[in-house]
């Protein structure tokens, strides 16, 4: 059976955006919350995140409620990530993109951090958002409908001396 449609707080209209939603960073926290809400509204889901364990757990939960779910473990800091995600989405109509990735747990003075850390943060929070929005946005334009949600962080408004690349990327 399909999960009950809940329209109390945040109605996402399946016929306006659906049938498929792609949630980048969709395995835990806010991303998982989006997934549960959209599944309840009848969306089919593609969830991508770095950690396979939480992806599999959430997918099992949503499937048990009747949702159709595809998952992909992908590292958003890698240059081929959009191509990898396209392998599981090019055969379906993604009508809603939620780009919810970008947490950072590495702190330090900018000049002391390894270049790989700052490059990864920029790749995920700037290039990833831009590339995913461009690709899926173009497909939505062709369909004549769709939506994109890019989540951010208050860090993008405040800055932090030990999170320079992260806060600057979130400001993007």
**Using CA atoms, how far apart are residues 26 and 160, in angstroms rounded to an integer?**
26
- Give strand pairing partners of 121: none
Q: With beta carbons less than 8 A apart as the criterion, state whether 26 and 97 touch.
A: no
Residue 85, judged by CB atoms within 10 A of its CB (0-12, 13-18, 19+), counts as buried
Helical pair 29-40 and 52-64, crossing angle rounded to 10 deg: 20
Verify whether residue 166 is a known catalytic residue. yes
Cα(21)–Cα(38) distance, integer angstroms: 8
Of 17, 99, 136, 166, the catalytic one is 166
10 Å CB burial of residue 7 (0-12, 13-18, 19+) is exposed
Q: Which residues are catalytic?
A: 166
């Amino acid at each position: 059976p399909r999960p009950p449609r809940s329209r109390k707080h945040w109605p996402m209209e399946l016929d306006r955006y659906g049938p498929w939603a792609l949630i980048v960073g969709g395995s835990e926290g806010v991303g998982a919350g989006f997934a549960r809400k959209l599944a309840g509204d009848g969306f089919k889901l593609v969830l991508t995140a770095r950690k396979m364990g939480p992806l599999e757990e959430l997918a099992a939960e949503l499937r048990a409620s009747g949702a159709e779910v595809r998952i992909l473990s992908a590292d958003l800091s890698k240059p081929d990530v959009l191509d990898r995600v396209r392998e599981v989405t090019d055969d379906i109509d993604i009508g809603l993109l939620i780009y919810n990735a970008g947490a950072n747990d590495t702190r330090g003075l900018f000049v002391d951090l390894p270049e790989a850390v700052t490059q990864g943060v920029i790749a995920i929070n700037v290039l990833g958002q831009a590339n995913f929005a461009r690709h899926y946005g173009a497909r939505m334009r062709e369909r004549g409908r769709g939506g994109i949600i890019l989540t951010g962080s208050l860090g993008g408004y405040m800055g932090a001396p030990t999170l320079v690349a992260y806060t600057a990327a979130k400001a993007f």
